[in-house]
Amino acid sequence: MTADLIQTAYAKRQKPASDRKLELTRSEGFLDGALDIFDLLGGSGQESVDGVDVKELLKAAYRAIARSEATVREQKQRIEALESVLTTDELTGITNRRGFFQTLGREMDRVNRDLNEGGLLIMIDLDNFKAINDTYGHQAGDACLKKVATFLMNEIRAMDTAARLGGDEFILLFPRTNREKAMKRAQQMALRLNNLTAEWNGKTIPITASVGLRNFVSGDRIEDILESADQEMYEQKQGRKALAH
């Protein structure tokens, strides 16, 4: 009813037929376009259109737009919630593999585009995780993974990213930091990480991890960064196994 009345009033304006498309739009907000409705009704000087009060028509138009904007906001929130689910590790609550590589890709684009400071990538692999699962059970292993995830989140800055790649593998991204500061920070963090314990059914489970570091700058390839950090982590793990024997 309201739309029909507005359309009728609009058609009475001296405009070519090709321009007589009514748009319930505003210049700001999610709807872009002309202020046709509000120019027509608010600036016409008329008190009514076909017997309907102009103020009521304006109110109805604003309500229609408000409902549309509310619908768009709700849809946006649903999309954001879905994206969060897709990029969050279900067990630990931190970023998952998918989310991490999206973040790393954006960071490398920034570094290559702006030629600014690079950063540091840290690969982390828990030691003897299979033994923990075999000895204490998989729920105990899950408790260890959650403990590590919480520890990492408490160690990083707001701009950093901590993620679980899968299994007992974690990864950190320290963007916008120089090599010396990042390396020192990572080494101190690794020492604290290797002093972690998890409590499970009255048992104290020690947590240790092997760590690989790789600084990155403009021009580096993601594949090379990951391979270098993974290789350093592997060598550290092999060295620990050799010492254990």
pLDDT in tens, 40-94: 555 555 565 555 676 777 777 778 788 778 777 776 766 665 565 589 999 999 9
Q: Specify the pLDDT at position 30.
A: 40
Q: If you average pLDDT over residues 19-23, what whole number do you get?
A: 45
Query: Do β-strands 203-206 and 197-200 pair in parallel, antiparallel, or remain unpaired?
Result: antiparallel
Q: If you average pLDDT over residues 2-20, what whole number do you get?
A: 51
pLDDT in tens, 171-181: 999 999 888 88
Give the sign of the dihedral formed by CA 137, CA 138, CA 141, CA 142.
negative
Q: Are 212 and 234 in contact (CB under 8 A)?
A: yes
> Domain 97-244 classified CATH 3.20.20.60?
no
Res 221 pLDDT > 60: yes
Delimit the domains of the chain by residue range. Answer: 2-86, 97-244
Angstrom distance (rounded) from CA 74 to CA 152: 33
Res 239 pLDDT > 80: yes
Q: Are 132 and 205 in contact (CB under 8 A)?
A: yes
Q: If you average pLDDT over residues 24-29, what whole number do you get?
A: 43
Q: Specify the pLDDT at position 175.
A: 95
Q: Specify the pLDDT at position 208.
A: 96
Q: Are 210 and 233 in contact (CB under 8 A)?
A: yes
Partners of 200 in the beta sheet? Answer: 203
Of 104, 111, 109, residue with least CA distance to 87: 104
Q: Specify the pLDDT at position 21.
A: 44
How would residue 36 be classed by pLDDT, with cut points 50, 70 and 90? low
5 or 29: which leads in pLDDT: 5
